[in-house]
Structure 1
Amino acid sequence: MENKLRGKSAIVGTGHAGLGEAPGLTAYDIMAEAGLAALADAQLKLSDVDGLFCTMMEDSMPALMAAEYLGIRPRFVEGTMTGGSSFVNYITAATMALAAGLCDVALIVYGSNQRSGSGKLVTASRPPPYEQIYRPRYPISAYALAAARHMHEFGTTREQLADVAVAARAWAQHNPEAFERGDLTREDVLAARMVSDPLTVRDCCLVTDGGGAIVMVRSERARDFPKPPVYVLGCAAESTHRQISQMPDFTVTAARESGVRAFAAAGVSPSDIDVVELYDAFTINTILFLEDLGFCKKGEGGAFVEGGRIAPGGELPVNTNGGGLSCVHPGMYGIFTVIEATRQIRGDAPGLQIANVDLALAHGNGGTLSSQVTAILGSENTL
């Protein structure tokens, strides 16, 4: 099927705020600062924004609250909440709204003060009722369940999980924006405090403050802005469950379907991708998504990440900013996959910049491996 939206929209601005720790700021303060930074990157003003795409963890109507806080009255508002995948999913919604003429400047924005506000991992909702009686560490136990099943079924080892964390830290050590930049070895990960077997604290994402934002316009306007435009070539979503107990197969995520459709829409394959930005809330995520998105076969993800293959200098650059494991993770991480993918294509990544990036994949995960959204972004060379 022809993708009528391929290359019809472009990202022309990115911004962030409060990365790491932002004491004294509310989540909406951080959201607003990130949005203003993205608009400044595109040399636009708040008054130019007529499409707002936002979800937060603090309010039942976050998009309306965000519009009120920013002092704007957008013509188009979208706030569907699918967890951390929401922001990658908004790329599709923004592209459709722009193509239909429902808005001219789309702002996708998020902010959280999770670290300074609570100091620990908290979620916007309680564990699903039929799982809460077992007193899981939510959501960590859900991902531990997937990791344990993958280990049982395919022989994946804790050492291989640790290699994911070590690779993320190696990227973060080159990124001045990353929250954790200290040395980290496989042995450090294995010896760290066990949180939910088989995941140690170093298998788990950071708890930070932070906000991110991107600005999108129709492609015919994209060259009018100061930074090189990054075009949306394909984006697809798939969901399989809400409660982890209802996941059809703990070793297979909906990324298998979202990836196939995103690649088809973009007209490219995994072997064409220059950089991969994955939602690595836990080390098992990276292994599962590399398999399900087609970078390796099912069950081979553990072996695939060994030997520094996804680390700096490796065969496949994965989570080049340090990811949620070492760079930033303020409750939801999805928007940062898009920001890093965009920066790598533009050539202005703050950490290690990969040479000649034309195609990047940004993948969002929501809930407990519940919602998967894959976006393929490209430079002007890919149109």
Structure 2
Amino acid sequence: MTIRNQAYIAGAWEHPTRLAPDKSTPQLHAECAAGALADAGLSVGDVDGYFCAGDAPGFGGLSMVDYLGLRVRHLDATETGGSSYILHVAHAAQAIAAGKCRVALITLAGRPRSGQGRPPVTGAPEGPFENWVGMTTHTSYGMCAARHMHEYGTTSEQLAWIKVAASAHAQHNPHAMLRDVVSVEDVIASPMIADPLHRLDCCVVSDGGGGLVVVAPQIARALNRPLVAVRGAGEAVRGPRGGLGLDLTTSAAAVSGPLAFAEAGVTPADIDYASIYDSFTITVLIQLEDLGFCAKGAGGRFVADGNLISGVGRLPFNTDGGGLCNNHPMNRGGITKVIEAVRQLRGEAHPAVQALDCRLAVATGIGGSLGARHAAATLILERQ
């Protein structure tokens, strides 16, 4: 069953806070829900489907359904890390197309910067063998960057261009954590965190969150809001298969991307704007290649040519500043990728970074450990 044009994003709202010591995580979820519903012109009473991930406190979203006062007939609490909320838009569209719900609410919220930290997760099977030698998220992504450099000649200076593009956009976002424009030299001069990744190659850690409302076509057309259709989606899981299939330079987006483009009936060349999950600069580079915006191994040259900078390059990306500069709550920043894509398609992005005649956008994300066990989700969204 295709979801092409079977659901529309009617509401999108990003929480403005980046530090919330006086708010609880459920309160942030509620504020994100209220903001997204208000943007759509709907109310809590209209919602009959709820979607969340591991950041929602209590029994896979059950507690949040009660806390928000929802009466739902469909619930999805799939957890895939940074790709969770891109995946949830696709799952909401699938549920709507199948008649399981008509108004789906999606919320993300977290307070890692205020000290809540990450929710507990079950360790990977190899954890007992790797954790004691210092394997972390940073070191695993550092290995991906080092391998990409070894195989394709990618340089730290080329990776730095991704941060440069993000900062060029973040300067226009009053809510971004990092609004200073940086240079390639600034990135290279920042402290080394996980060789070859510097501090400015890494995303920020913030409180905050966001909300989305996905609705059936009949409801979307009655709301008098800009029509943003879910045109295609894909999801995939990639792992080393016990060490037999380890590839540090390819992500699951190499599968989820082509699936999404095929369902949408478009190609990477048709895309006007890209929201790409950016936990690290290398995360962006590998996804660009895997989605087909450039050949495998050519990502360094692609970004160093300025292609990601709005008004300069051919593929403006993360025009809110992304996770590298804007926000990244609870290691699940994927929802803001969808929110900024919706802004672009509606023509509501900051004028300085608004893509010209933006009709098609891609939003894609990675969850887990790039190069090892991880999931990817890709959306193609269209202004109609």
Using the size of structure 2 for normalisation, the TM-score is 0.93
* 1:11/1:231 contact within 8 Å kept: yes
Per the alignment, residue 236 of structure 2 pairs with 238
Per the alignment, residue 371 of structure 1 pairs with 375
* 1:115/1:209 contact within 8 Å kept: yes
Consecutive unaligned residues in structure 2, runs of 5 or more: none
Task: Indicate the SS of the match to 1:234.
Answer: strand
* 2:49/2:73 contact within 8 Å kept: yes
Q: Write the deviation string for residues 181-239 of structure 1: whole angstroms up to 9, x where unpaired.
A: 01311111111111111111111000001111110111122121132020001000011
Task: Indicate the SS of the match to 2:378.
Answer: strand
What amino acid maps onto 2:323 in structure 1?
G
* 1:227/1:346 contact within 8 Å kept: no
Per the alignment, residue 131 of structure 1 pairs with 130
* 2:275/2:341 contact within 8 Å kept: yes
Per the alignment, residue 317 of structure 2 pairs with 318
Cα deviation for residue 47 of structure 1 reads 1.3
Structure-2 separation of matches of 1:194 and 1:184? 16
Task: Indicate the SS of the match to 1:260.
Answer: helix
What amino acid maps onto 1:372 in structure 2?
A
* 2:240/2:246 contact within 8 Å kept: no
Matches within 5 A, 1:282-301: 282-301=280-299
Q: Does 2:202 match 1:198? A: no
Q: Write the deviation string for residues 296-321 of structure 1: whole angstroms up to 9, x where unpaired.
A: 00000011100322113222101111
Cα deviation for residue 147 of structure 1 reads 0.5
* 2:95/2:101 contact within 8 Å kept: yes
Q: 1:245 to 1:321 in 2, by over 3 A?
A: farther
Per the alignment, residue 335 of structure 1 pairs with 335
Cα deviation for residue 283 of structure 1 reads 0.3
- 1:140 counterpart (126, 138, 141): 138
Q: Which moved more, 1:26-35 or 1:145-154?
A: 26-35
Matched length: 375
Q: Does 2:73 match 1:75? A: yes
Per the alignment, residue 183 of structure 2 pairs with 185
Q: Does 2:28 match 1:24? A: no
Per the alignment, residue 300 of structure 2 pairs with 302
Matches within 5 A, 1:205-220: 205-220=203-218
Per the alignment, residue 356 of structure 2 pairs with 355
* 2:240/2:247 contact within 8 Å kept: no
Task: Indicate the SS of the match to 1:365.
Answer: strand
Structure-2 separation of matches of 1:244 and 1:340? 37
Q: Which moved more, 1:192-201 or 1:122-131?
A: 122-131
Consecutive unaligned residues in structure 1, runs of 5 or more: none
Structure-2 separation of matches of 1:122 and 1:197? 24
What amino acid maps onto 1:88 in structure 2?
I
* 1:361/1:376 contact within 8 Å kept: yes
* 1:275/1:360 contact within 8 Å kept: yes
Matches within 5 A, 1:51-130: 51-57=49-55, 59=57, 61-118=59-116, 122=118, 124-125=120-121, 128-130=127-129
Structure-2 separation of matches of 1:315 and 1:282? 22
Q: 1:255 to 1:34 in 2, by over 3 A?
A: same
Q: 1:242 to 1:83 in 2, by over 3 A?
A: farther
What amino acid maps onto 2:191 in structure 1?
R
* 2:55/2:108 contact within 8 Å kept: no
Cα deviation for residue 16 of structure 1 reads 2.0
Alignment RMSD: 1.8
* 1:84/1:334 contact within 8 Å kept: yes
Using the size of structure 1 for normalisation, the TM-score is 0.93
* 1:143/1:282 contact within 8 Å kept: yes
Q: Write the deviation string for residues 218-271 of structure 1: whole angstroms up to 9, x where unpaired.
A: 112212113202000100001112899676210011111111110000000000
Per the alignment, residue 14 of structure 1 pairs with 12
What amino acid maps onto 1:238 in structure 2?
A
